Amino acid sequence: MNGPPEPFKIKMIEHVGMPDQIRRSEAIREAGYNTFLLRSEDVYIDLLTDSGTSAMSDYQWSGLLLGDEAYAGARNFYNLEKAIQDVLGYKYIVPTHQGRGAEHLMYSYLVKSGQLVPRNMYFTTSKLHVELPGGKMVDVIIDEAHDPENLHLFKGNIDFKKLQAFIDEYGVEKIAFVNVEMDVNMAGGQPVSMQNLRDLREFCNDYNLKIIYDATRSSENAYFIRERERGYENTPIIDILREMMSYSDGCIYSSKKDCLVNIGGFLATSDKDIFEHCRNMVVVYEGLHTYGGMAGRDMEAVARGLKESTSYEYLKYRINQVRYLGDLLMKAGVPIVKPTGGHGVFINALKFLPHLERKQWPAQTLAAAIYEDSGVRSMERGAVSKGRDKETGENIFPALELVRLTIPRRVYTNTHMEYTAESVIRLYEKRDSIRGLKMVYEPEYLRFFQSRFEVLESSKSYLET
Ligand code: PM9
């Protein structure tokens, strides 16, 4: 068997279409070779993101009917508050419409112009919300994270030498806070170890520095701690989560991932100052502090989903399904980020398409090619996502130029994984025929969402036949 069987059965299905080859070629051209600009109805298997794409349980759906849509003080807010207190252990919460709403409130309060925010690799929206108040995100992840072949089990760990170097060079007052992402997205869904979190707390105590987590995928990180870190083999996931959070001063959280819902976010903290400020500002940007942009029913679904995300059986199934896809690709020699991460399989586009220059956007090209081949939608996670240097305006070309096959939670079967793998392997076998792209439109912020491309050479398709 390819991992444990699903700890659920299917009660409702959604029909999906399969556009033919002619429509797929047309659709990706119309989308400017950007998979974000495809219409969902043109997609067969949607591995664009694990964000907001989960299948909710009957327990969550039934909670929607219990939505209290009062403007103020809905009972679902108190259920959400209690769920976060129970699962994560923080005292105060502020709901937001999704993760970036929480980033906006938290980071605009903590970052002063000219300050640095060291983090274990950047995330797109997080970096932007540090930059908007005049800050700069700097990378302090261990070197192993930048090497797709390296098999380190906790590639999300902070490198204390890098952190110390920033403190020594700029002075501790220049550091706004230390930001730690769980199950680091841009590194391939790679976890942080409990030991690293514990050590970071001690380190930051010496400098009186705050630690804020991006806890978006913390349940999946907790599963890896249980699976890989000595001493946690039999620890309930909820206890691991509470210990992880106890080493921080607060977190932002996009509920659209581990909480198994379609919309929502929050920030949580036990720090009264952070809480009071964010609770005040939420009414300016999101909505009253007892809904923060979410409907009562959505808060109920988050509360229930957060609890469900602590099930060991569920997480074991989830992580193993992702691993199954990774194993299929590795067996065929397709270069991917190793070890396979928590929420998706990340293809190393630099190794897949070595004949393309960085300026020909290999990951963007490969994501478009996969769609055209099979109707599977993936996402670029490389230089287009990274954007330009704020000071010089030049493109930044990160070591990782990846295509993310992101697996929505509880949505697809292993046969869907096999179909996906077959497409990627087919392309790998004819990789030399794949032509690059040129960028023809670029918006100012978060360009990967809306930028447009054209095929570089005059072949009909960039998949030469
Ligand atoms: N992540 C993802 O697909 C959705 C938007 S970017 C394509 O991976 C982290 C670690 C995230 C994240 C979103 C956010 C923002 C914050 N931190 O999308 O605003 O992975 O809910 O969360 C996406 P929201």
What's the whole-number mean pLDDT along residues 431-449? 96
Residue 214 is among the residues annotated as catalytic for this protein: yes
pLDDT tens-digit map of 291-331? 999 999 999 999 999 999 999 999 999 999 999 999 999 99
- Given the residues 90, 123, 253, 275, select the one marked as catalytic: 123
What's the whole-number mean pLDDT along residues 8-15? 96
Mention every residue, 6+ apart, whose C-beta is less than 8 A from residue 391. Answer: none
% of the chain residues with pLDDT over 90: 97
Residue 257 is among the residues annotated as catalytic for this protein: yes
Is there an atom of ligand 1 within 6 Å of 124 CB?
A: yes
Nearest CA to ligand 1 atom 18: 99
Atom of ligand 1 nearest to the CA of 449: 7
Query: What is the CA(99)–ligand 1 centre distance, in A?
Result: 7
pLDDT tens-digit map of 204-262? 999 999 999 999 999 999 999 999 999 999 999 999 999 999 999 999 999 999 999 99
pLDDT tens-digit map of 58-80? 999 999 999 999 999 999 999 99
Whole-angstrom CA distances from 67 to 55, 83, 176, 287 are 19, 16, 38, 17
Is there an atom of ligand 1 within 6 Å of 218 CB?
A: no
Number of compact structural domains in the chain: 2
What's the mean per-residue pLDDT of the chain?
97
**Residue 67: which domain range?**
58-308
Provide the pLDDT for residue 462: 60
Provide the pLDDT for residue 3: 82
Is there an atom of ligand 1 within 6 Å of 264 CB?
A: no
Provide the pLDDT for residue 65: 98
Is there an atom of ligand 1 within 6 Å of 126 CB?
A: yes
Is 423 inside a domain boundary? yes
Residue that is last in its domain, among 290, 308, 326: 308
Give the span between the Cα atoms of 140 and 227, in whole angstroms. Answer: 25
Provide the pLDDT for residue 390: 85
pLDDT of residue 1 exceeding 80, the answer is: no
Whole-angstrom CA distances from 404 to 59, 187, 260, 346 are 30, 10, 19, 4
Is 2 inside a domain boundary? no
Provide the pLDDT for residue 461: 55
Q: Is the pTM for the entire model greater than 0.85? A: yes
pLDDT tens-digit map of 114-155? 999 999 999 999 999 999 999 999 999 999 999 999 999 999
Residue 224 is among the residues annotated as catalytic for this protein: no
- 361 & 266 share domain: no
pLDDT band, very low/low/confident/very high, at 463 (cuts 50, 70, 90): low
Atom of ligand 1 nearest to the CA of 98: 21
- 254 & 345 share domain: no
Sign of CA dihedral 400, 425, 434, 378: negative
- 336 & 302 share domain: no
Is 150 inside a domain boundary? yes
Identify the DSSP state of 336.
B
- 352 & 237 share domain: no
- 160 & 249 share domain: yes
